Every structure is written in structure tokens, then in C-alpha cells.
Amino acid sequence: MVDPQVVRVKWSRTHRIVRSRFPPIDLFEDIADPADWDAILSAETKTNPRIAESVGLLGLVPENRRVAGKGASWAMAPFVHISSDRPSRFTDGSFGVYYAGDRVEVALFETIHHHARFMTSTAEPAGWASDFRELVGTLDSDLHDIQDVEQFPVYYDPDDYRAPQSFAQKIRASNANGILYQSVRYPDGKAVALFWPDTAGIPVQGQHFSYYWDGDRVSRVKNLTTDEVFSVLA
């Protein structure tokens, strides 16, 4: 298999969807220099140990790749709150990834798929189960391009993530910015897996959504911003 090319990717809008329940992290929203965060966190933890829990594993993000200011929590969170219990296509859970699509439909269908897997595993009853928020950003970065599914089929298995995880880990170790790929859950759209907060940039809040779990799958989505309800085709 040939090595992917690195291409410049410029999107005027990126779309990411996350659970609405996570609050902002004060340290990231502050105007303090990110290079000073470790010292600030160390001092504040002495009087309030719970602060460290909210901030997460700050050491995973180099100082020069951090972002700060209003909305920075949304860019930093996926990189400091990680777990081997939450692997995904391009990480085994040992490092963070900021996933986003070139349109809101990509973000919706990707999160609907993974939310349905979570709901199935927890045997939740039917109902409007969870609320989500859209994060809208921009992108201008050099990324590894694996959009050609026929050329890179091993990275597109619907359930086996071992090959894409190994690939991502390898290029991230060489300070790569991320990956450009075809959305697996919404094939008409493109997606990115970004390895650093400064590549993702600071997004702004967009629309709000709620997903309806019917006991077998997510069958409806309600746009809480417009009150429109959409059926999700099986």
C-alpha cells in the first residue's frame, strides 16, 4: 500500500457534535498563556484537588499546540479527557482526536452511529435520550489524505479499527496534524481526524440536537434550535 500524500485542507466550516452536558473548563477559557497552565494548575490543585480532574491530562498536549480563550474548552477537551475505554477509528484511547465533518450531516450520522452502539450496550429504554451541541470551526492545515477508499480499504473497515489506529499513532508520533478521509457513516461527506488543538482551532457553538432512541436504534433527530424533527433512515 502506498503512503498517503500530505495535502493542504482549507474548509470555511467544520462541524463537530458533542454531548451538551459537558461544562466549560475555566483554565482553558482564561486569557492566561497556555505555557503557564501547568504552574497555575499545580497551585490551584493544592487548595482544590477536583480542579485537576476537570482539566484532565494536560501533559498530553505540548505547550505550543494548546489554545486558549473563549470556546477553547471545546478544542482542548478531546485531547485531555481520554480513556482506553473509548477507542475510535483513529485512536486506541491513548491520545485524543478531534473529529469533524465538512457538513453537519457528517457529524450527525457519525455520532448517531456511535450513540446507538452506546445505547445498545447499556440497554436504555426508548425515549429522547440525549442532547447534543454542534461546534462550528474552520480548518487550514496540512493533513494526510486517505480519501481514496479503494486505495486505502484497510482504514475503512466498519468495525475493525486496528489498522487506522496503528496508522494514526505512527504519523502522530512524527508530529503530523491529522487525517483527511471519507466519512464512513455518511459517504457523501468528508471528515477529518485532527491530532492537536491548534489544528482544530477554537470553534463556536452552533445548533442543538436531541436523539430519539427507539430501543433498537436512533430513529429520529430533533433540531432543538428550530424544533424540526427528522426521521433517520435505517
Q: How does DSSP assign 160-172, residue by residue?
A: --HHHHHHHHHHH
Whether 40 shows a pLDDT value over 70: the answer reads no
Cell 445548533: give the residue.
207
Q: Give mean pLDDT, residues 104-122.
A: 94
Residue with cell 427507539: 214
Place of cell 501547568: 38
CA angle 167, 19, 49 (to 5 degrees): 90
**Beta-carbon count within 10 A of 166 CB:** 13
pLDDT at 43: 58
**pLDDT band for position 124 (cuts 50, 70, 90):** confident
Average pLDDT over residues 65-92: 93
The three cell numbers locating residue 231: 426521521
Cβ contact 76:34 at 8 Å: no
- Let me know: does 33 contact 68? Beta carbons within 8 Å: yes
> What is the identity of the amino acid at 27?
L
**E strand map for the chain:** 5-19, 98-101, 127-145, 178-182, 190-194, 204-213, 218-223, 228-231
Residue 5: its pLDDT value, please?
97
Residue 45 has pLDDT above 70, yes or no: no
Domain locations along the chain: 5-22+87-231
Other beta carbons less than 10 A from residue 99's beta carbon: 26
With a cut of 60, say whether residue 46 has pLDDT above it.
Answer: no
Instruction: Collect all residues with Cβ–Cβ distance below 8 Å to 203 and sequence separation of at least 6.
Output: 14, 16, 71, 74, 75, 135, 136, 137
**How far does Cα 88 stand from its chain's mean position?**
10
Report, as an integer, the average pLDDT of 51-62: 77
> pLDDT tens digit string along 184-223?
999 999 999 999 999 999 999 999 999 999 999 999 999 9
**Segment 139-192, tens digit of pLDDT:** 999 999 999 999 999 999 999 999 999 999 999 999 999 999 999 999 999 999
The three-point CA angle 162-167-171 to 5° equals 150
Helix (H) or strand (E) holding 43, with range, is helix 37-45
Q: Is 82 exposed, middle or buried (0-12, 13-18, 19+ CB in 10 A)?
A: buried
Q: Residue 52 pLDDT more than 60?
A: no
* pLDDT exceeds cutoff 70 at 7: yes
